[in-house]
Amino acid sequence: MTADDAQGVREMHERCSPESLRSRYFGPVPRLSDAVIRMFTNPERGITLVTHLAGEPGSVVAMTNLMDLGSGESEVALLVEDRWQGRGLGRVLMRCAVALAPSRRARVITASVYAANTRMLAILEGAGAEKPSMTGLILDVRLPLDSSDVSAGASGGPCR
């Protein structure tokens, strides 16, 4: 994501249901502030991917954040626009995040997920995440990366 994607990303957020936004941000997000856009586009903080319709860069349908936490950890968060959910996009985007994590020197990907968010939990489990040890409304999930993930990251990664 670059600053040029900001409008498309904001419009995508406006098309998302309150439930999807709550699942992503754990609270109401009326509009992405300039500060948040700057954080998403700051290469020193992490990587943000935007997914758009082929040949239509302004038609954003998903956003993937992989933000550095330090100490070899990066936090992943996905948002797929409602009408594009349930078609396998989230699972592909998680593969992209796993492939990119070594380029951020991450050995572990973490995610905060509502315990009721079965789709996201299925994606994380499918990618090899550990079963969360704690229970509660929001689960902190850890996905340790192995050496094959590291080589996938070095080669650009299987993002398609």
Ligand X SMILES: CC(C)(COP(=O)(O)OP(=O)(O)OC[C@H]1O[C@@H](n2cnc3c(N)ncnc32)[C@H](O)[C@@H]1OP(=O)(O)O)[C@@H](O)C(=O)NCCC(=O)NCCS
Which residues contact ligand X by CB under 6 A?
20, 23-24, 77-80, 85-91, 111, 113, 117-120, 122-123, 126
Of 125 and 154, CB closest to ligand X: 125
In the complex, the smallest distance separating the C-beta of residue 135 from ligand X, rounded to whole angstroms, is 18
DSSP SS3 for 114: strand
In the complex, the smallest distance separating the C-beta of residue 19 from ligand X, rounded to whole angstroms, is 7
How far is residue 90's CA from residue 97's CA, in Å, rounded to a whole number? Answer: 10
Of 14 and 154, CB closest to ligand X: 14
In 3D space, the residue among 96, 60, 54 whose CA is nearest the CA of residue 80 turns out to be: 60
Q: Which residue is nearest to ligand X (CB)?
A: 90
How far is residue 44's CA from residue 19's CA, in Å, rounded to a whole number? Answer: 30
How far is residue 12's CA from residue 151's CA, in Å, rounded to a whole number? Answer: 33
DSSP SS3 for 27: coil
DSSP-derived secondary structure letter, 107: S
Of 37 and 129, CB closest to ligand X: 129
Of 58 and 86, CB closest to ligand X: 86
Of 113 and 129, CB closest to ligand X: 113
Q: How many distinct helices (H) and strands (E) make up the chain?
A: 6, 5
In 3D space, the residue among 6, 36, 2, 30 whose CA is nearest the CA of residue 16 turns out to be: 30
In the complex, the smallest distance separating the C-beta of residue 64 from ligand X, rounded to whole angstroms, is 9
In the complex, the smallest distance separating the C-beta of residue 154 from ligand X, rounded to whole angstroms, is 25
In the complex, the smallest distance separating the C-beta of residue 62 from ligand X, rounded to whole angstroms, is 7
